[in-house]
Amino acid sequence: MKPFKFEQATTAVQASQTHADAAPNARFISGGTDILGEIKESVLEVNILVSLAGLSGASEIISSDLGLEIGALVTLARIASDQSIVETYPALAQAAESVATPQIRNVGTLGGNLCQRPRCWYYRSPLFDCLKKGGETCFASDEGNKYHAILGAENCHIVHPSDVAVALLALDATVVVSNASGDRQMPIGDFFVSPDVNMLAENVLEPGEFVSKVKIPKPSSGTRSVYLKAKERQAYDFALSSVAVSLEVRDETITQAHVVLGGVAPVPYSVPQVDSELTGQKIREVDVQAIGQLAVKDAQPLSDNSYKVRLTASMVARAVSRLISE
């Protein structure tokens, strides 16, 4: 590990300024489980780590009639077990519970999870000078791409690694980002950017900016949600494919739907055509297999990952099926 300086920020302003001043070789750190791995692998060179752990108010979960506010420093373990989240936002609790291991969930935070870097094995190896690291080539284009994207990828074929982001997008969450001059917020779908927009980052954060909280609107009483994740072993695996679905059902009819795919695209992947197809359908009449197929209609699998097309269709069908039979 190359030397770096660890700076404990006490205010958002201080954190932001320290980071902005040292950019581009500064990073924020909250739990650190992902960023330390990158530094150890020499994939990331940093001069300074700005710790957000001391910021006040960032470790709270506030539940109100309007919805939920979760501070960026709230750990995944808390999200997975928080009673209000488990009851009202089940997809989020399930997604948080599906991450890594208890040890990681006890340290890993919401903000860190959203900002974690890709797990692509070319990106993570210093022996591949890949597009995502500023190189010329995506090594996944032609082979060795079993875990890579089937949707929404042009040049770089990473998949976004976050489980939680997939659930949050299905729940129409808003991300609040802060810097020295204040906050701005955006729908979480706008927070993430694909490599075609910015090859070197997965989100819109500018130097000095960090995620400070996430807001989720309170779902109506007829809303239900679920997160499902396919893995290669029972536990401790990133998603081969995952899906979060939120459905609002009134009088046996779907009045709102949001289906989001994970593990298959460079960003948490919304499929609006599925949402509109579902909306207005009687729950007993939904052809879940057709819905699943529709979700992967635009898939462009690579040499080794066509299985993800079928898998993802099945996952969507299963998630929708589970919700409409609730």
Partner 1 sequence: MAQLPISYSASITLNVNGTDHQIEVDHRWTLLRVLRDVLGLTGAKRGCDRGECGACTVLVDGDPVCSCSMLALQVGGRQVRTVEGLGDANSLNVLQEAFLAEDGGQCGFCTPGFIMSATALLESNTDPTEDEIKAALVGNICRCNAYGRIIESVKAAAKSEAS
Partner 2 sequence: MTTFKTIGKSEPRRDLPEKLTGEAKYTADVQLPGMLFGKILRSPHPHARILSINVDAARNLPGVRAVVTPFDAPKGQVAPDMPILDTEARYVGDEVAAVAADDEDLAEAALSLIEVKYEQLPFVTDAVEAIKPDAPQTRPGGNLVGGKPLTLIRGSVEEGFAQADRIFEETYSTPAQAGAALEPRAAVASWDGDNLTVWKSTRGVHADQLALSLALDVPRGNIRVMGQNMGAGYGTKDETRLGAITAVLAQRAGRPVKIELTRQEEFVAGRHRHGTTTTVRMGVKNDGTVTAVHATTIMDTGAYLSSGPGVIRRAGQGALYLYRCANVQYDGYLTYTNTPSGGSYRALGAPQGHFALESLADTISEALGIDPLEFRLKNHVGLEGQPGERVTPANEVLDTQPVEGGVPFSSNGLRECLQRGSEAIDWGQPSERPESGNLRRGKGMGMFIYRGGAGGRSIARMRLESDGSLRLLTGLMDVGEGSLTVMPQIAAEELGVGYGQVLVTFGDSETTPEAPLTAGSTATFSTGTATKEAARQLKARIIEVVAPLLDTEPSNLQITDDGVEHIQYPERSVSFAQIAESVGEIEVEAAISPGSRDHVINSFGAHFAEVEVDTDTGQVRVLRYIAAHDSGRILNPKLAINQVEGGVSQMLGFTLSEQMLTDPRNGVTLNASFLEHKSPTVQDFPEMQVLFADVVDPVGPFGAKALGEPPSIGVAPAVANAIYNAIGVRIRDLPLTPDRVLNEIEAQRGDSQ
Angle at 193 between CA 195 and CA 317, to 5 degrees: 100
**Per-residue x/- track, 226-245, partner 1 (CB under 8 A):** ---------xx---------
**Should residue 281 be labelled a site residue for partner 1 when binding is judged by CB under 8 A?**
no
Q: Which does 269 bind (CB under 5 to 8 A by kind): partner 2, partner 1, none?
A: none
Q: How far is the CB of 4 from partner 1 (least distance, A)?
A: 6
Q: Which of residues 69-98 bind partner 1 (CB under 8 A)?
A: 77
Q: How far is the CB of 303 from partner 2 (least distance, A)?
A: 12
For tokens 């500023």, name the residue.
134
Q: Which stretch binds partner 1 (CB under 8 A): 99-107, 146-154, 203-211, 245-253?
A: 99-107
| Residue 157: φ, ψ to 5° | -110, 30
Looking at the DSSP assignment, which residues form a beta bridge with residue 244?
Answer: 227, 260
Query: How many Å apart are CA 109 and CA 113, to the nearest integer?
Result: 6
> What's the DSSP call for residue 109?
B
Identity of the residue, 125 or 253, whose beta carbon is nearer to partner 2 in the bound complex: 125
Q: How far is the CB of 184 from partner 1 (least distance, A)?
A: 28
Q: Which does 67 bind (CB under 5 to 8 A by kind): partner 2, partner 1, none?
A: none
The footprint of partner 2 (CB under 8 A) covers 1-3, 119, 121-122, 125, 127-128, 139, 143-144, 146, 230-238, 240, 289, 304-308, 310-311, 314-315, 317-318
Q: Are 274 and 288 a contacting pair, CB within 8 Å?
A: no
Identity of the residue, 2 or 297, whose beta carbon is nearer to partner 1 in the bound complex: 2
**Should residue 107 be labelled a site residue for partner 1 when binding is judged by CB under 8 A?**
yes
The 10 Å CB-count burial string (b at 16+, else e) for 243-267 is bbbbbbbeeeebbbbbbbbbbbbbb
Residue type, 304: D
**Should residue 282 be labelled a site residue for partner 1 when binding is judged by CB under 8 A?**
no
Identity of the residue, 12 or 35, whose beta carbon is nearer to partner 2 in the bound complex: 35
Query: How many Å apart are CA 159 and CA 42, to the nearest integer?
Result: 21
Give me Rg for the CA atoms of the chain: 19
| Residue 57: φ, ψ to 5° | 80, -10
**Should residue 21 be labelled a site residue for partner 1 when binding is judged by CB under 8 A?**
no
Closest residue by Cα to residue 322 from 219, 226, 242: 226
**Should residue 11 be labelled a site residue for partner 1 when binding is judged by CB under 8 A?**
no
Identity of the residue, 220 or 300, whose beta carbon is nearer to partner 2 in the bound complex: 300
Q: How far is the CB of 106 from partner 1 (least distance, A)?
A: 4
Q: Are 177 and 184 a contacting pair, CB within 8 Å?
A: yes
Q: How far is the CB of 76 from partner 1 (least distance, A)?
A: 12
Q: How far is the CB of 267 from partner 2 (least distance, A)?
A: 22
Those residues with Cβ within 8 angstroms of residue 303's Cβ, 6 or more apart along the chain or in another chain: 142, 143, 145
Q: Which residues bind partner 1 (CB under 8 A)?
A: 1-6, 8, 29, 31-33, 36-37, 39-40, 49, 51, 53, 77, 100-104, 106-107, 235-236
